[in-house]
Structure 1
Amino acid sequence: MAAVRAFRWPWLWLGLWWLGIVVLIYVCMMPHPPQLSDLPDSDKAEHFIAYLLLAAAAVQIYAGPRAWRWAALGLLALGVGIEFAQGAWTTTRSADPLDAVADALGVAAGMATAATPWRDLLWRLERGGLRRR
C-alpha cells in the first residue's frame, strides 16, 4: 500500500473512499435517484459536489502527486463510464455529456486541494488533532 499515506488505519480510510464510489455508482444507476433541488439542471451541481468530495478525499488518502493523478484519471473514467452505462443499460436514465463535464470540474476542484493546507487535514487529525507546532 505504498500509494496510501502512512495512516494508523489506512484500510478504514481507503474502505470509506471506495464505499463512497460504490454509493455514487448505485445512486447514478437508480431509476429515480433523490434530488437535492427541484431547480432545472441541479443534478449538475450534485455531480460536481460528488466528484469534488471523492477527489478531495483521494488527496487526503493517497500519498503524492503520482497517486493523485491515478485517482483523478480513475474518477474521470468513472464519470464517463457511468454516463455510458446510464445510456446503454437503463431505460429510466440517459447519458448526458454535461454530467461528465460537471464530474470533471469536480475532480479538478477536488484535486486542487492538493495545493492547499487542507491537503493534510485527515492525516493531521489522525495523528492527534490540529495542534499548531
Structure 2
Amino acid sequence: MWVAGWLAMLALVATGSLMPSSGLPDVAFPGADKLQHGGGYAAMSAYAVMLFATRRARWTAAAGLLAFGIAIELAQGAFTVDRSPELADVFANAAGIVAGLLAARTRLALLLQRVDRRLAGAREQDGRAG
C-alpha cells in the first residue's frame, strides 16, 4: 500500500511534467517553478525515507528519483511541443531530494512503521474479539 502511494506520487509528477503548459496555472513569480520542483521532489524523497528503512535503500531511492527527474526533463524535450528541458529544473529536483533525505534524521522517518504497527495491532485485536 505504501509503495503504491509513492508510485502514485511519481505518476502525478510525470503527468504534470508532460502535460501541455497551457493546462498548468501561471507561475506567481520568476523562479516559482523551481520551488515547485524542489518541493515536489522533497516530498517524494521524504516519503522514500519513511518507506525504506536502510540507508542503502534510501540512497538508492534518491538516485532513482534523480534519474527520474532527468528522464522527465529529457521527455519534455522529446515528447512535448511547448515544454523544454531545463538544467535548472534538475538542480531544483536534486536540492529537493537532498532536503527530503534530511527527514531520515527526524521522527518523520519512522512514521509509516508506527502506522503499520498500529494497524497490525488493530487487526490482532479484531481477530481476538471475533
Query: What TM-score do the two structures reach when normalised by structure 2?
Result: 0.84
* Structure 2 counterpart of 1:21: 10
Asked whether 1:98 is paired with 2:88, we answer yes
Q: Percent identity?
A: 36
Instruction: Please report how far the alpha carbon of residue 128 of structure 1 lies from its aligned counterpart in structure 2 after TM superposition.
Output: 2.9
Letter in 2 for 1:61: L
Q: Which runs of 5+ in 2 are unaligned?
A: 120-130
Q: Distance in 2 between matches of 1:125 and 1:15?
A: 16
8 Å CA contact 1:59–1:113 kept in 2: the answer is: yes
Query: What TM-score do the two structures reach when normalised by structure 1?
Result: 0.82
Instruction: Please report how far the alpha carbon of residue 126 of structure 1 lies from its aligned counterpart in structure 2 after TM superposition.
Output: 3.3
**Alignment map for 1:26-41 (pairs within 5 Å):** 26-32=15-21, 33-35=23-25, 37-41=27-31
Q: Distance in 2 between matches of 1:99 and 1:93?
A: 12
**Alignment map for 1:1-133 (pairs within 5 Å):** 12-32=1-21, 33-35=23-25, 37-128=27-118
- Distance change (3 Å), C-alpha of 1:73 and 1:31: same
How many pairs does the alignment contain? 118
Instruction: Please report how far the alpha carbon of residue 36 of structure 1 lies from its aligned counterpart in structure 2 after TM superposition.
Output: 7.2
Larger radius of gyration: 2
* Structure 2 counterpart of 1:4: none
Instruction: Please report how far the alpha carbon of residue 29 of structure 1 lies from its aligned counterpart in structure 2 after TM superposition.
Output: 0.3
**RMSD of equivalent CA atoms:** 1.6
- Distance change (3 Å), C-alpha of 1:128 and 1:36: farther
